[in-house]
Structure 1
Amino acid sequence: MSNPLSQLGLAMRAGKVVSGDEIVLKAIRSKEAKLVIVAGNSSLNTQKKFRDKCGTYKVPLLIGFDREHLGASVGKPERVVLALTDQGFANLLRKTVSNTSEVEYIE
């Protein structure tokens, strides 16, 4: 089974990942975000903000991993929130994490 975080690295190299609160919120509002990932060790406020926003705009949300691993997977320092802007990568990641217990997936 492939590692979902290595898939994030591939998506990043393909230019299909955006990160950072405001940029991800903008991607959700413009319907560019196909899947949003929030670090499991982010604040409850951050998790709630993205849970609400993704719910409103019907964007799948994944809460899990930690900010250090999310950052490392895309070759950056810690990252709290990422969005995939490509449906193919989003589907691939969703398949991979569907069998991972450390991740909460919200459709």
Structure 2
Amino acid sequence: MKNKWKSLLGLATRARKTISGEELVVKEIRSGRAKLVILSDDASINTRKKIEDKCTSYEIPLRYAPDRYMLGQAIGKDARVVVAVIDDGFAQTLMTLFDESLWG
């Protein structure tokens, strides 16, 4: 099935296990609650650097979605540049799906 990660990310959102928005995601990374961060491939250079640096320094896994519209659609909202998953189970499965499909 194409884009399984979108379905799972939507499920995680309905279970209230995702946070979206740059500042809120950075806060979750700092607090250690973020288990996975998904960044849109079309994020601005500044946002990309900020999120990548935070994920690296706090050792949070980072994956990339094709664009902000697809990422937003996956969580049932308008365009979103960055989403944090705050549940281990969802995070592990999403990482596997991203690594297998590379956007399917």
Give the letter for the 1:44 counterpart.
I
**Any idea what the Cα deviations from partners look like across 1:24-82, whole Å, max 9, x if unmatched?**
00000000000001100111221111110000101001123210011111110000000
Aligned pairs, how many? 103
Q: Which residue of 1 aligns with 2:78?
A: 77
Secondary structure, aligned partner of 1:98: helix
Indicate the structure with greater helix content: 2
Query: Quick one: distance in 2 between partners of 1:39 and 1:21?
Result: 11
4+ residue segments displaced more than 2 Å: 100-103
Pairing 1:1-107 to 2, within 5 Å after superposition: 1=1, 3-102=4-103
Secondary structure, aligned partner of 2:102: coil
TM-score of the superposed pair, with normalisation by structure 2: 0.93
Could you list the runs of 5+ residues in structure 1 that have no partner in the other structure?
none
Query: Quick one: distance in 2 between partners of 1:64 and 1:79?
Result: 10
The percentage of counterpart residues that share the same residue type is 47
TM-score of the superposed pair, with normalisation by structure 1: 0.90
